[in-house]
Structure 1
Amino acid sequence: MHQPTHPSQGPGPAAGIGTAWCAWHEGFSVTARPVQAADGAVHFACLSCREAYSLTPLTDPS
């Protein structure tokens, strides 16, 4: 069975509770966290994209 690279991608916010839009792969993810982009703007990035692009979350859940 094929495993999705980006969990909980869906057609919109109804894809699941606690989802956020990943600005890097342009899809919804339950693992998205805020990160600061090179231009200084704050965007959300999922775990896969944070690992792929060496992005550091601004805050981590405790």
Structure 2
Amino acid sequence: MQETTHPATAPAGPGWCDWHEGPSGTAVLIQAIEQGSGPGLTRYACAPCREQRRLVPYSEQP
């Protein structure tokens, strides 16, 4: 049997940063994208990624 080397898919949530694609203890919600059918999409970012990319937490967006 052939081995596959696909990366594990991490569930979106406050313990995961979607920008550096790794675990984080400081991730907060940045985007909540609604879709017409099916589940929506949420994206979280950790403190260093928010600072580096000037991302604004969802709760602070106008």
TM-score range, shorter chain: 0.5 to 0.7
Deviations 1:2-47 (A, max 9, x none): xxxxxxxxxx8xxxxxx5110001111110000028xx55300000
Please report the TM-score for the alignment, with normalisation by the length of structure 2.
Answer: 0.54
**Partner Cα distance (2:31, 2:24) in 1:** 18
Answer yes or no: is the 8 Å Cα contact 1:20–1:28 preserved in 2: yes
Q: Which amino acid aligns with 1:59?
A: S
Gaps of 5+ in 2: 1-9, 34-40
Q: Alpha carbon RMSD of aligned pairs, Å?
A: 2.5
Gaps of 5+ in 1: 1-11, 13-18
**Partner Cα distance (2:46, 2:28) in 1:** 6
Please report the TM-score for the alignment, with normalisation by the length of structure 1.
Answer: 0.54
> Runs ≥4 in structure 1, deviation > 3 angstroms?
none
